[in-house]
Chains A and B, each alone.
Chain A
Amino acid sequence: MAIEKSSKGARGSVQCENTSLNLLKANDFMAENIRKEMKRRNILMLNITSSAGSGKTTLLQETARRLANQVKMKVLVGDLETERDASRIRETGIDALQIVTGGICHLEAQMVWQAMDQIDLEGVELLIVENVGNLVCPASFDLGEDYRVTLIATTEGDDKPKKYPRMFLTSELMLVSKADLLPYLPFSVEAVTKDAQEVNPDIGVMQISSTSGEGIEAWCQWLLEKVEAKRKPQLTTV
């Protein structure tokens, strides 16, 4: 701790160094707890992010319909208000819990941790967290997920990866959604892929449409592979 006195002598100051306080420390701490719990339970956890209205819930409905017989999955869904998204997902027969953030524009690890207490995780293999529709602050809040998947709808424009770099930097997979509308829109999958990979060379890219079904097979395949990799190793009889 260095003590500096101003030359006027009127007021000195004590400067505390090495006191850097990470303002996201509490979140990162909770996220690590979630990560450990998911590892212990062999649950694959995904954090699905995107702008509002790019088709996260519709994709999850479609995913639930296709995979419900193969994978035991549950969904946590964040919104500022209403139960609507959780209800939509429950319509497909999947257990979904709404996290109402009450005006907060992103999910924090603490909210997910509390929600985990309200659902039965016994036997669950896949936990999908649908984040609040927003490409800005959800990027900064680790939820303890294994993979972050970001949707970008063709209706949004192909300039988003450069405008919201942190989200694309921290995602493992980018899903170009509403691909059935490509013939009608000035959206270039090639350009969006190039921009996303300039921000994050490791990001995977898939083109999907929950309406036409395009690319859903490949997306489900990707999910199944990741679930399989996280599954508890089965004891084999010798």
Chain B
Amino acid sequence: MNRLVQVNLRVGLLSNVEPVLMQTAFQALRETEAKYQEVSLEIETVPVKIYCASCEQTSEVQQYKFICAHCGQLNNNVVEGTELLIHQVHFSEN
């Protein structure tokens, strides 16, 4: 394992991170630091999901309306969408 070739981020819609800006910042780094020239950045955005205890179901939040898609009850039990993770890193073999 040696040279870094790719970094994967998982970025929730509630993390306040803007993938486009992150890519641009990474581009700037790539252009100024020779050792990162061949490293790519992959950003996966994660939608906001809530878990409803009465339906025992998870649903996706649309337009920031925190409402269970199954029963229509208001719900703020966010289970996904706040993360800011370095999810994977890839290295070249030689």
Instruction: Enumerate chain A interface residues (CB-CB to B < 8 A).
Output: 3, 5, 11-17, 19-24, 136-137, 139-140, 162, 165-166, 169, 197-202
Contacts and interface: CB of A to CB of B under 8 A. Distances in A.
Contacts of A11: 5, 92-94
Contacts, number: 78
Interface string B36-69: 0000000000000000000000000000111100
A203 to B, nearest CB: 8
B74 A198 contact: yes
30 contacts: A3-B93, A11-B94, A12-B92, A12-B94, A13-B91, A13-B93, A14-B1, A14-B91, A14-B93, A16-B88, A16-B90, A16-B91, A17-B88, A19-B87, A19-B88, A19-B89, A20-B10, A20-B86, A21-B86, A22-B84, A137-B16, A140-B82, A140-B84, A166-B16, A166-B82, A169-B66, A197-B74, A198-B64, A198-B67, A199-B64
Contacts of B64: 162, 165, 198-199
A15 B90 contact: yes
List 10 tightest A-B contacts by C-beta distance, closest first: A201-B74, A12-B93, A21-B86, A13-B90, A165-B64, A23-B84, A20-B85, A200-B76, A166-B14, A14-B91
A22 B75 contact: no
A22 B1 contact: no
Nearest to A165: B64
Contacts of A15: 88, 90
Contact of B66 (A5, A14, A137, A199): A199
B5 A13 contact: yes
B93 A140 contact: no
A200 B65 CA distance: 9
A10 to B, nearest CB: 10
B36 to A, nearest CB: 16
B15 to A, nearest CB: 7
Contacts of A3: 93
Contacts of A197: 74
B89 to A, nearest CB: 6
Nearest to B14: A166
Contacts of B88: 15-17, 19-20
B30 to A, nearest CB: 17
Nearest to A197: B74
B80 interface: no
Nearest to B90: A13
B6 A13 contact: yes
A12 B16 CA distance: 34
A21 B16 contact: no
A195 to B, nearest CB: 9
Contacts of B6: 13
Contact of A198 (B10, B65, B84, B86): B65
